[in-house]
Each structure stands twice: as structure tokens, then as C-alpha cells.
Amino acid sequence: MLNCKSNSEQKELKNQKEKADSLPYAICLFLLLGNCLGFTEAIASPNKDSHATAKIDAKLTDKRKNELGKTIKIYRLRTWVQGLAEISFEKDKVKLENIDKGITLLFKAPQWKAQMYSPSAGLYYETSAAKWMPEDAKTIATFRPSDPQTLVPGTAIDTTLMNTPCKLYSLKAREQQKVGKDARTWQMLLLKEGKLWTIAKGQFPKEVTAAVCRYLGTPQIDGLPLQLTATNFGGTPKEEVNLLKVLDRKVRADFFEVPPGLKKAKNIRDLAGQTANDAEVFEIMR
């Protein structure tokens, strides 16, 4: 009886050994079939997708670093004529972005042409800096009694504004007016004096700085305006241009370029936001 039991155990052990010996062959067969069907690589490397994603993310990160690798100063202004705007510059280029109207003004060496573009309208307009005149600023300058462009710069001192070295000019009326207490309302709105803070004196051609001043509605001066306070004969001061913030911002390599794909406009009026609206006309007359 013991011998019979021993024989059965021996048979069981033999069967288990045969199964164990055949297992590697089964695995090899499975892997061979899987390779033909294209799914063994996924089984052998379950993290392949995550590795590929990591590589893509790394490439995108490097690309973003290249795109946003340059840091420049951005001067954010609140202007009476143009609304919220940002001005930035390098030694051979100037950019003024009108945030409220979606219009950007760009000047670049060596030609220093005035390039105005509107991504939302899909248009850009180009002319010489000397001839460039925005329609909205032209309208306001024509009808507004308290136009700051009637002021002329006098003495200047070196100062700082929000930790930015700049020039501070005292302004006075181009034509001296005799305005008494019995003067008419429009006469009291005429400007008597003012103060103008500017940067980048002597860095850009006069045609360029004059065009920027026309756009912001400030007296023309050698430099880029940062802040302007004007006082009328009624004694009321008004911030025509107010420096809100000085930002350090990383920008793309094409920050000072006209975006591709825009069509050239035949007239500056084709660009949206270049005609004074009803609210502006009402404000002009006050």
C-alpha cells in the first residue's frame, strides 16, 4: 500500500515538473505572438506613454523658455485721450499698446516707420513717423479747449517716478492768456501750466517721440511721456497721463514685431478705435 502511494506521488511530481518545464515555452510563445500583434511592448514597458509625455512636456518647456526668455520694462499708463495703455522700448524700438482699444503702435530702426495694427480687425497701417496722426487724437486736439498740446516745456530737472529715473519738465501756455474772474467758461478751461515726466531722452529720433506724444495727447518733447498733470485757468489740476505701474515682464522674441497674417489697411480709419466716439466727443467739450 505504501508503495502504491509512493508511486502516485511520484507521478504527481513528474506532472508538476513537466508543467514547469513547459512554462517558459508558453511565455516565449505568448511574447512572440504579442510582438506580432504589437502589444508586448506595452506590457514590457507599461510606462512608455508617460515617458513619451514627459519628453513632449520637456520640449514644450524648452520652447516656452525660448519664447519668454527676454525680460523688459513695461510702463502701464492711464491716459485721458487713449485710456489704458502700456509703453515699452529697447535701444532701437518703441512699442505702445492701447489695451482699451486693442490697437498697437510700433516704431523700429532703421526706418522708424509708424506701424499701427489691430489683431482683432486683422489689419495694420504703415506710414512715416512724421506724417502719422491718429484720428481720435486729431479730433480731440481740434475741439478740446484744455488740450495739453498747447503747453510748451520750460525748465527740466532730474528726478525719479516709481523708482524710474526720468526728466521732470515744467510746462506753460504757448500763448499767455489774460483770464479774469468774469471770464467765460471755455476760457477757464484753457490750460495755464503743467508738469511732464519723461524717460529715454535723446534715445530716439524726434519724429518718433513726437508721434508718441501726439498719440497720448501730450506736448511734444524729446523723450517718452510717463506722466502729465495739467492745470487750467480755473485752478483745476487734471492727470492727463498717469503712470500706474512699472512691470518686469518676460516677452517672446517677436514682441516688437507686427503679427503675421494681417492685411495692410488703405486708411488709418479702417482700424477700429481710431474715431472718437460719442462719449469722447461729449467729454471733449467739457
Q: Are residues 80 and 16 located together in one domain of the fold?
A: no
Q: Are residues 160 and 47 located together in one domain of the fold?
A: no
CA distances from 59 to 54, 62, 203 (A): 9, 5, 39
Q: Are residues 123 and 163 located together in one domain of the fold?
A: yes
- Report helix, strand or coil for 120: coil
CB-neighbour burial class of residue 278 (10 A; exposed 0-12, middle 13-18, buried 19+): exposed
CA 35 from chain centre, in angstroms, equals 52
Predicted local distance difference test score (pLDDT) of residue 36: 46
Q: Are residues 157 and 259 located together in one domain of the fold?
A: yes
Q: Are residues 30 and 128 located together in one domain of the fold?
A: no
In sequence order, what are the residues at sequence separation of 6 or more whose Cβ sits closer than 8 angstroms to the Cβ of residue 53? none
List the one residue out of 93, 221, 104, 249 whose CA is nearest residue 156: 221
Helix (H) or strand (E) holding 138: helix 135-143
Q: Are residues 173 and 37 located together in one domain of the fold?
A: no
Predicted local distance difference test score (pLDDT) of residue 94: 98
Q: Is the model's pTM score more than 0.95? A: no
More confident residue, 38 or 132: 132
CA 209 from chain centre, in angstroms, equals 20
The Cβ of residue 125 has, within 10 Å, a number of other Cβ atoms equal to 23
In sequence order, what are the residues at sequence separation of 6 or more whose Cβ sits closer than 8 angstroms to the Cβ of residue 217? 79, 80, 81, 82, 137, 140, 141, 147, 148, 149, 240, 241
Reported confidence tier of residue 176, pLDDT bands at 50, 70, 90:
confident
More confident residue, 93 or 275: 93
Q: Are residues 46 and 153 located together in one domain of the fold?
A: no
More confident residue, 179 or 15: 179
pLDDT in tens, 189-232: 888 899 999 999 999 999 999 999 999 999 999 999 999 999 98
The total of structural domains in the chain comes to 2
Do residues 58 and 52 touch, judged by C-beta distance below 8 A?
no
CA angle 237, 185, 286 (to 5 degrees): 65
What domain range is 156 assigned to?
A: 71-284
The Cβ of residue 110 has, within 10 Å, a number of other Cβ atoms equal to 6
Predicted local distance difference test score (pLDDT) of residue 39: 40
pLDDT in tens, 27-79: 544 444 444 444 443 434 444 445 555 555 555 454 554 566 789 999 999 99
